Chain A
Amino acid sequence: EVQLVESGGGLVQPGGSLRLSCAASGFTFSSYWMSWVRQAPGKGLEWVANIKQDGGEKYYVDSVKGRFTISRDNAKNSLYLQMNSLRAADTAVYYCARITFGGVIALEYWGQGTLVTVSS
């Protein structure tokens, strides 16, 4: 059974940093692109970042470029999102998701999400 479990969310002050983790199990983690998607309270879904199987390609939404870094450790079956210079607008539930195999960039499996609140 595919499982994705996020952790690391919490309350942080504007300008602060936070590192989210996503522990993957039930599939060959190193074979899949992975993604972070966020959802502000009461709002819709917003894609944040993607990372290729070997970590060699990374893509970001413009609003987080230069502040967020997606990474992975295939030996630990883990995905990460380092978030720096956090703003109130970054407040959201952050989901990690596995992208479908074979070039279709649909988000096939999702974690339960972790809430990040940026507030003073």
Chain B
Amino acid sequence: EIVITQSPATLSVSPGERATLSCRASQSVSSNLAWYQQKPGQAPRLLIYGASTRATGIPARFSGSGSGTEFTLTISSLQSEDFAVYYCQQYNHWPPITFGQGTRLEIK
């Protein structure tokens, strides 16, 4: 089973600033990685798949990069609606599909 580790657990950033979230896989997942955003009381929303492809309707301030075992989600200029929990998920070696434990992005 591929273990996904996200860092940091909590990230405090001011609105308008850039946020960088990290995701590490225990072995290579090629580019088969997705990112999700989840707000309290809501279902997750797909942001990125294929490590760097934005899903339909996702603003350009969200970008993904990386391959192999190291991945990054960057939010270029934080808006108030971006403060949420972010998860990464690998689908290269499944079953099982595995998620990271999440990074909470909070307002500084």
Question: Hey, which bits of chain B sit against chain A, CB under 8 A?
Answer: 32, 34, 36, 38, 42-46, 49-50, 55-56, 87, 89, 91, 94-102
Q: Chain B nearest CB: distance from A37 CB in Å?
A: 8
Q: Which of A50, A60, A100, A110 contacts B44 (CB 8 A)?
A: A110
Q: B99 contacts A47, CB within 8 Å?
A: yes
Contact A110-B45, Cβ < 8 Å, known A47-B96, A61-B95, A105-B94: yes
Q: Is A106 in the interface zone, CB < 8 Å from B? A: yes
Interface centre among B42, B50, B96, B97 (most CB of A within 10 A): B97
Q: Chain A nearest CB: distance from B104 CB in Å?
A: 11
Q: Provide the residues of chain B in CB contact with A62, threshold 8 Å.
A: 96
The majority secondary structure among interface residues of chain A is strand
Q: Chain A nearest CB: distance from B105 CB in Å?
A: 15
Interface extent on A, as a size class? Answer: 20 to 34
Q: Which residue of chain B is the closest to A107 with respect to CB atoms?
A: B46
Q: Is A75 in the interface zone, CB < 8 Å from B? A: no
Question: Hey, which bits of chain A sit against chain B, CB under 8 A?
Answer: 35, 44-47, 50, 59-62, 95, 100, 104-113
Bound-complex Cα distance A106 to B97 (A): 10
Between-chain CB contacts (< 8 Å), 25 pairs: A44-B87, A44-B99, A44-B100, A44-B101, A45-B44, A46-B99, A47-B97, A47-B98, A47-B99, A50-B94, A50-B97, A61-B95, A61-B96, A62-B96, A95-B43, A104-B32, A105-B94, A106-B46, A106-B50, A107-B36, A107-B44, A108-B46, A110-B43, A110-B45, A111-B43
Contact A113-B43, Cβ < 8 Å, known A44-B100, A45-B99, A106-B89: yes
Q: Provide the residues of chain B in CB contact with A107, threshold 8 Å.
A: 34, 36, 44, 46, 89
